[in-house]
Amino acid sequence: MAYNRHWVGALGMALVLAMNAAAAAQPIDWTDDEPIVFTADELIYDHEREMVRAVGRVQIDHGGRILLADEVTYEQPRDLMTATGNVALLEPTGEVLFSDRVEITGDLRSGLLDNIRAVLSDGARFAAVGAVRREGNLTEMRKAVYSPCDLCAKDPTRAPLWQVKAVRVRHDQVAREIEYRDAWLELGGIPVLYTPYLSHPDPTVTRKSGFLMPIIGTSTDLGVIVGTPFYWVIADDKDATITPIYTSDEGPVLGFEYRQAFKHGVLNFDGSGTVDSQDDIRGHVFSSFRYDISERWRGGAAFNRTSDDTYLRRYGFGGPSRTLTSRGFLERFGREGYFSANAYSFQPLEAGADPKAQPIVAPLLDYNFSAQLDPYGGRTTVDLNLASLVRREGNDTQRLSARAGWSLPLKDVIGGLYEVSATLWADGYHVNQLERPGDKTPFTGFSGRIWPQASADWRWPWLRTGERFDQMVEPVVQIAVAPIGGSSDKIPNEDSQTLEIDVDNVISANRVPGLDRVEGGTRLNYGLAWQAFTDRGQSLVAFAGQSYRFQRSSGLDEASGLSTQLSDFVASVDAAFAPWFNAGYRTRVNSQKLGFRSNEVLFGGGIEALRLRGRYLFLADEASEEFAGREELRLNLQSQFTRYWRGRAFSLYDLTEDGGLREVGLGFTYEDECFLLDGSWTRQTFRDRDLVPDNSFFIRISFKTIGESQTRF
């Protein structure tokens, strides 16, 4: 071959020139487009046998492959190199092959290797008695062992945590797959599982079609459970997972997941279906789609439905949820304005909820405009809204709302900060069969309101620096003026149903969420904020506030905390002594009876070896329109015992009179570079229709790089 003669001639010339001295690196034409570069301490050329010997720190580079050895002999007639002594072959893919002796073709693509050891691109290791290398992309090994586990630093001869031994192993770098024949899985050197055939993707593969590890378990409700997920790589931009699941007590279940990525969007679909022992068809669909039309426009949709209220929790396809929401949307983001068009539908999952009373919201249009600062430093805003709600049973509503506002920030010479604002609302409604309080007949027709409001804010921050920490005290006062009333019983309440005073909205001109209700009258809102902080990130922040209404009647419910002239008192304290302790406290006190309406304590702290988090919550019966009174304590404990072992525990206590332990769980995890073992035990004591108290034990075993198994009892 011409390229071989060129190489030999070059070696001979290098030998003459170097006079057997050390040879420097030389590029030589190996083919027209793939040169070879070699270095060695000494080159010896045998003219009669047409053989070249490179001795001492030999390195040969060709086509991205590098051969290292103590000595390399090249036989030109056979186009064969023999490398001995600390032989290493570095592949372009990142693999490294080690051997005592290698016979390999001149292009470094094919050959025989004795006593081979290989390190893959992800750090996993192979060892074999011998191997054949073909075309630079196929390695066939005999009597081989594979393991991604690190060897023991104190005793490298000790068996790794797990390994696969096989009579034959085939690594196809084109198919990017590793196959085993007559293989044993060993744990700590002890054979535990035999299989005549095993395959898994090599480290260069991120996705590959095939069966995933099976799911095997038992449940007191569903019986024996066996699932065999199949992962299907449809194309580079889409894949699917199909999971047939057998349950001995409730029949088969089919799970399906589909994902697709677009250049400017993404689609996800997740669903399941079954026919249970009562011949009822049950299932669910979760789907979402988003597409970026341009830099300013974006659209999408989400469709979420289930056959019945308890299916998701009973079959393990989702946690507790009160409502499933489906949505379609279109958005535009501008420099000064934002536009959105939405459509919504809802499926309630709570006991006693009537699906026929749930609205279909279509369309829901919003436009928000914020102008540039005017010559006086003020800013004008405009918010427009159009909504239509229809129900199978109950009132229908159409609403057109426009709100224009102007605000101006100011400051004085002594550090006081002010903001004055004025807002004008105009709302028009058409309703059909709107239920009204008392004995009034349902209302059908048009209604509306014009609603002006003005407010002024003042705050005066005081800062004091110290050697150990800095402090800031800031009194805040706001006065808001609006007409009395404004919430007529001819105006429906669709989106303003959860008004509750708290530390976040006490200093606010309008605390009512949504657009259907307004807060009228003249109100004086005031509070005091204090904080201390250090340059090490530690801080202590406190706030207390209240609202006073000059009119006796507000028309608001007692649960809001705003039904009386003097509102509930709200306060909060947040402490951050990072990284070992953080805590927060929120409270709301009835200003008339001086009793707690709500208390919430959040805390978390500790070190890596032991970290505790918790939440205490108290709600009086009249404290919330949405939830009944409750008192509970949730604790979560985590611990990193050692480098590889960690544990966890959690509990939920109902502290009311008829309460008790609602949920408790324990768990542990062992994880190193090649193996994961995770176990957890959970007990739930609550009842909800066909959901009953349950004990479950879950184990997950993962042999990293080849698969994992999950079992639930």
615 inside domain: yes
Among 166, 201, 236, give the residue marking a domain's end: 201
Same domain, 686 and 580: no
Same domain, 616 and 574: no
Residue 520 CA: distances (Å) to CA of 309, 452, 661:
40, 10, 44
Same domain, 583 and 712: no
363 inside domain: no
Cβ atoms of 511 and 496 closer than 8 Å:
no
Please name the helix (run of DSSP H) or strand (run of DSSP E) that holds residue 303, with its range, or none: strand 297-306
429 inside domain: no
Q: How many CB atoms within 10 Å of residue 106?
A: 21
pLDDT of residue 640: 93
Among 186, 201, 216, give the residue marking a domain's end: 201
Same domain, 175 and 54: yes
Residue 32 CA: distances (Å) to CA of 25, 91, 108, 171, 217:
19, 21, 17, 30, 61
Same domain, 643 and 705: yes
Same domain, 692 and 614: yes
337 inside domain: no
Cis peptide before 359 (omega within 30 of 0): no
φ, ψ for residue 22, nearest 5 deg? -65, 135
CA 649/CA 668 separation, integer angstroms? 9
Cβ atoms of 501 and 547 closer than 8 Å:
yes
Same domain, 637 and 672: yes
375 inside domain: no
CA atoms within 13 Å, Cβ hemisphere of 459:
16
In the chain, the number of structural domains is: 3
pLDDT of residue 705: 80
CA 99/CA 29 separation, integer angstroms? 28
DSSP secondary structure code for residue 355 in this structure: G
Same domain, 460 and 545: yes
Token output for 445: 């027709």
CA 503/CA 472 separation, integer angstroms? 18
In this prediction the pTM is: 0.77
Amino acid at 319: G
Cβ atoms of 11 and 17 closer than 8 Å:
no
Q: List the end-to-end C-alpha distance of the chain, in Å, as a whole number.
A: 67
pLDDT of residue 256: 94
pLDDT of residue 293: 95
Cβ atoms of 521 and 480 closer than 8 Å:
no
Cα torsion 57, 62, 63, 68 to 10°: value is -20
Cβ atoms of 469 and 534 closer than 8 Å:
yes
Beta strands in 413-490 (DSSP E): 417-434, 443-459, 462-464, 470-482
CATH value at residue 62: 2.60.450.10
189 inside domain: yes
pLDDT of residue 182: 94
Same domain, 587 and 617: no
Say which residue the tokens 């501008």 belong to.
334
Which residues in the chain come in under a pLDDT of 70?
1-35, 319-320, 554, 622-628, 690, 707-713
Please name the helix (run of DSSP H) or strand (run of DSSP E) that holds residue 549, with its range, or none: strand 539-549
Same domain, 489 and 545: yes
pLDDT of residue 625: 55
Residue range of the domain that includes 587: 412-419+449-594
* Short-list 384, 420, 381, CA closest to 401: 384
CA 666/CA 684 separation, integer angstroms? 12
Among 201, 233, 255, give the residue marking a domain's end: 201
Residue 645 CA: distances (Å) to CA of 292, 691, 697:
44, 34, 19
CA 72/CA 102 separation, integer angstroms? 9
φ, ψ for residue 37, nearest 5 deg? -125, 130
319 inside domain: no
614 inside domain: yes
Same domain, 8 and 110: yes
pLDDT of residue 33: 55
Same domain, 584 and 621: no
Strand, coil or helix: 346: strand
CA 482/CA 671 separation, integer angstroms? 62
The DSSP secondary structure of 219-239, one letter per residue, reads: ETTTEEEEE--EEEEEETTEE
